[in-house]
Every structure is written in C-alpha cells, then in structure tokens.
Amino acid sequence: MKTLNDVVLHFLKDMYYAETAVLKLFPELVAAAENDGLKKIFLKHAEQTKAQLVRLETVFAALGRPVEAVTCEAIIGLIQETDDVVKDTSPGAVRDAALVACVAAIEHYEIARYGTIAAWLEAMGHAEAASLLRQSMQEDSEADAQLNAITTRVINSALAKS
C-alpha cells in the first residue's frame, strides 16, 4: 500500500470480510444466549449488519471499485474467542455476560474502522461515502450501548443472584 487510496481500499475490503463473517456468527449467538433481551439485540444487529454490507457495496461503487473482501485476521480472532466462549460455558447468565463482552469487542473494532475510514474518505472528498460509513458506525455504537444496558440491567443482576 503506497497511497491513502490504497489504504482506504484495503480497510474497506477488510470490513467487508468482517461484516460478512460476523453476519454468519449471529445465528450461533442467538442460539447460545439465554436472555431473551440479548437474543433480540443480536437479531436486530444481524439485520443492521445486512444493511452495513449494502452500504459498503455502495461505497465500493462510489469509488469505482469492485466489491472485494480481504481476510481480516482481527475479526477471525474475535470470532474464535466467541466460539470458545460458547463451547466452554454453560447456558445462563455467565455465558450471556461473556457473549456481551465478545460482541462488544467486535463492535468496538467495527466502530474504530468505520470512523477512521470515514475520516479518510471525507478528507479525500468522498463526503457521501463517508456519511454511509458513519451511519454504520452509529449503528454499531448503538448496539454497544444496548449491550452495556442489558448487562447493567439484567445480566449483572442474574450473576449476583447465582
């Protein structure tokens, strides 16, 4: 990568891979979670992730580039950690708390990437593309806030009782 344009395209491909991989994770998350509110958060964010993929496709088109993915080692690691949590915990509040931590880490990764790429696109004169990524970043921030809220309101209470 020699130019900012090269870096932007690399990270867009990285995010396309990441969002596609995370979308495949949501059915496992819904099945593994015990708390109905947490299941609803996962289902809602799965739908948002589909929209985020469409936005990424729109950004590629706006830049005159084909939609491509490049392996995202970070998301592979975060998904592996999530899979390990599901495998190594029993259903209940402890697993739900661990799932929240895993998904929050994924959301934070996505927030960081979208924010950075959006800033670069803005600086390069691609305001509409930047706006699309900021919308995805906002959705991920809202999902993170919902995860924090359910942890505070429900999961921590269930953990204290056990």
Are the C-beta atoms of residues 23 and 51 closer than 8 Å to each other?
no
Rounded-to-integer distance, Cα 3 and Cα 109, Å: 23
pLDDT at 121 over 90: yes
Count helices and strands (H / E) in the chain. 6, 0
Report pLDDT digits (tens) over 36-66.
Answer: 999 999 999 999 999 999 999 999 999 999 9
Residue 162's pLDDT is 66
Task: Report the candidate in 29, 51, 50 with the shortest Cα–Cα distance to residue 41.
Answer: 29
Residue 161's pLDDT is 72
Task: For CA atoms 25, 31, 37, 38, give the dihedral sign.
Answer: negative
* Residues ≥6 apart with Cβ < 8 Å to 100: 38, 147, 150, 151, 155
Rounded-to-integer distance, Cα 8 and Cα 2, Å: 11
DSSP 41-97: HHHHHHHHHHHHHHHHHHHHHHTT--------HHHHHHHHHHHHHHHHS-TTHHHHH
Average pLDDT over residues 110-136: 98
* Cα separation values, 28 from 39, 86, 160, 161, Å: 10, 9, 26, 26
* pTM recorded for the entire structure: 0.93
